[in-house]
Structure 1
């Protein structure tokens, strides 16, 4: 189910940031997923780590029975039907 959400066109943003010791870093985040962020030494690294953060964020919400936010204009992925025994 997480994979279906990962295909949605979430808005990813990256900007320069400063680490706790004053080092130059990049901060990446997702507009539709508040608090879903990652850091990296380069913009590409921050965006790469962001994909893992998105997956964990959405996976955690689904495990808790919550509907993750979706991008405007997108359709929520269909939940699979429970198996009948």
Structure 2
């Protein structure tokens, strides 16, 4: 089976500088919820385990953002939208 290169996928890191931090965060979350995540291939994880790691990551990131916003720190939303020429 060939590996997916994630081109065109929503599963890519938008800022290359953030990849290492996101990977570290993923391992911290997996450890916190008792999922045995290892470097490299993790195809032996169940869908439930993998989904739990990703879901809890999102939950924690949203909570962190809410705390920042509650303290008056409103970072600029850097959202790009497709233009007609890129459709």
Tell me the TM-score normalised to structure 1 length: 0.36
Higher share of residues assigned helix: 2
Point out the structure with the larger strand share.
1
Report the TM-score, using the length of structure 2 for normalisation: 0.36
Structure with bigger gyration radius: 2
